[in-house]
Chain A
Amino acid sequence: MNCNKTRVLMSVAVDGELTVKEEQLFLLHLSECEMCRVEYEEAKKTKLIIREKIVRFNAPASLVTMIMQLSDVDAKKAEGTLSL
Chain B
Amino acid sequence: MAKSETNHPAKASSKKETLSREENLKQLEFQKEAVVHINSLYNYALHLTMNPDDAEDLVQETYLKAYRFFNSFERGTNCKAWLFKILKNNYINSFRKNSKEPGKVDYDLIKDFYHSIKDTRIDTSEADSDYFHTLLPEEVYLALQSLPEEFREVIQLCDIEGFTYEEIANMVESPIGTVRSRLYRGRKLLRAQLESYAKKYGYNTDTDQ
Q: Which residues of A contact B (CB under 8 A)?
A: 8, 10-12, 15, 17, 35, 38-39, 42-43, 45-60, 63-64, 66-68, 70-71, 73-74, 77, 80, 82, 84
**Which residues of A have CB within 8 Å of B65?**
82, 84
B171 in the interface (beta carbon within 8 A) = no
Is B159 a contact partner of A50 (Cβ separation < 8 A)?
yes
- Given A51-B160, A53-B141; 6 other pairs, CB 8 A cutoff: A11-B187, A12-B180, A12-B184, A15-B183, A49-B132, A70-B67
Q: Measured between C-beta atoms, what is the minimum distance from A22 to chain B in Å?
A: 11
B35 in the interface (beta carbon within 8 A) = yes
Q: Measured between C-beta atoms, what is the minimum distance from B69 to chain A in Å?
A: 5
Digitize B1-42: 1 where CB-to-A-CB distance is under 8 Å, 0 elsewhere. Answer: 000000000000000000000011011001100010011011
**Which residues of B have CB within 8 Å of A52?**
123, 125
**Which residues of A have CB within 8 Å of B46?**
57
**Which residues of A have CB within 8 Å of B155?**
50
Is B158 a contact partner of A15 (Cβ separation < 8 A)?
yes
B135 in the interface (beta carbon within 8 A) = yes
Is A15 a contact partner of B140 (Cβ separation < 8 A)?
no
Q: Of the candidates A45, A51, A66, A71, which one forms a contact with B27 in the assembled complex, judged by CB atoms under 8 Å apart?
A: A71
Is A38 a contact partner of B140 (Cβ separation < 8 A)?
no
